[in-house]
Amino acid sequence: MTANAGRRIVVLTGAGISKESGLSTFRDADGIWAKVRIEDVATPDAFARDPEGVHRFYNARRRRLVGGAIQPNAAHVALARLEGAWPAGVTVVTQNIDDLHERAGSRNLIHMHGEILKARCSACGVVVACTDALGTDERCRECGIKGAMRPHVVWFGEMPLELERIDAALDACATFVSIGTSGNVYPAAGFVDRIRSRDNVHAVELNLEPSEGAGHFDETVYGPATEVVPAFVARLLGARG
Ligand code: APR
């Protein structure tokens, strides 16, 4: 790890990092996809078929996120601290649609699956802040079309956001750290293989349990994110110079 100190770091995060803040993961036994079917709430077809149902699903999650009970945890805070203390640069690429990384202080952050606190007009494409419930009677402030506002999130079958920026960050990093993701969803699940095609890149998995891609990492540490992430960041910062 010391050999890489001073070089760029890319951190990929998934639902596991927000679990101890009180947000559910997707594929754990008590996860969201054990209670709701993907095809009912997280596809363009679902929105076309049952927009009210899809809005209800995201409205409930948005309401929880802004309600005050959900706060960044020690893992989010540790990553923000790393960004502030690592001159070569840290990019956090998150699959999460919550805003806990930015609330903790991360600034160089890419929301590849979108943001639940934004809405997008599927007619004109405008993206606006959204902290309230969305409904089918909503009119776009930009183009005036009614019923086209949708959560600014990436559904199954849609292209993740900012892939060019992510590719550039992956191509420039010396250390890749994957945190709290099960490695089931591409393209994020393929990032580790992408960076391993280059020499001298160190890939680390920090997760509660081995992910689907665990065997592709150089180093793995298993435990709750609020414990393993601060410890890993302290080790990185301690190894500097
Ligand atoms: N600390 C660390 N890791 C944890 C914790 C915790 N406290 N709790 C759970 N985990 C781990 C689980 O062991 C699992 O490997 O987090 C991972 C969560 O995996 P998923 O639920 O599959 O979430 P994620 O990988 O982020 O899902 C990717 O799938 O449906 C979509 O769009 C959604 O962005 C999401 C994508």
Show the 3-state SS of 136-185.
CCCECCCCCCECCEEEEECCCCCCCCCHHHHHHHHHHCCEEEEECCCCCC
pLDDT at 199: 86
Q: Tell me whether strands 127-129 and 149-153 are parallel, antiparallel or unpaired.
A: unpaired
Q: Give the residues surrounding ligand 1 with Cβ less than 6 Å away.
A: 14-16, 19-20, 25-28, 31, 95, 113, 180-182, 184-185, 207-209, 211, 224-225
Contacts of residue 145, Cβ cutoff 8 Å, sequence gap at least 6: 121, 123, 124, 139
* 3-state DSSP assignment of residue 179: strand
User: Which residues are paired to 127 by β-bridges?
Assistant: 120
Name the DSSP letter for residue 149. Answer: E
118 has pLDDT over 70: yes
With a cut of 60, say whether residue 10 has pLDDT above it: yes
Backbone φ, ψ for residue 179 (5° rounding):
-130, 125
Rounded CA gap, 190 and 170, in Å? 11
Catalytic member of 76, 101, 113, 202: 113
The model's pTM? 0.96
8 vs 4: CA distance, rounded Å:
8
In contact, 153 and 161? CB cutoff 8 Å:
no
Tokens of 215: 């065997």
Question: For the chain, what is the mean pLDDT?
Answer: 95
| 35 three-state secondary structure | coil
Looking at the chain, how many residues does it have? 241
**CB-CB neighbours of 205 under 10 Å:** 26
CA of 186 to the centre of ligand 1 (A): 13
Is the pLDDT confidence value at 239 over 90?
A: no
Helix (H) or strand (E) holding 128: strand 127-129
- Distance (Å, whole) CA 234 – CA 237: 5
Read off the pLDDT of each residue in 53-74 and give the average, rounded to a whole number.
97
- Average pLDDT estimate for 8-22: 98
Q: How far is C-alpha 134 from the geometric centre of its chain's CA atoms?
A: 22
Residue type, 41: V
Q: What is the 54 CA–ligand 1 centroid distance (Å)? A: 21
**Could you give the CA distance from residue 208 to residue 20 in angstroms, rounded to a whole number?**
11
Would you state the pLDDT for residue 222? Answer: 98
% of residues, the chain, pLDDT over 90: 94
Sign of CA dihedral 23, 127, 154, 167: negative
Q: Is the dihedral of CA 143, 147, 151, 156 positive or negative?
A: negative
Q: Is 76 a catalytic residue?
A: no
Amino acid 110 reads I
Average pLDDT over residues 119-140: 96
pLDDT at 212 over 70: yes
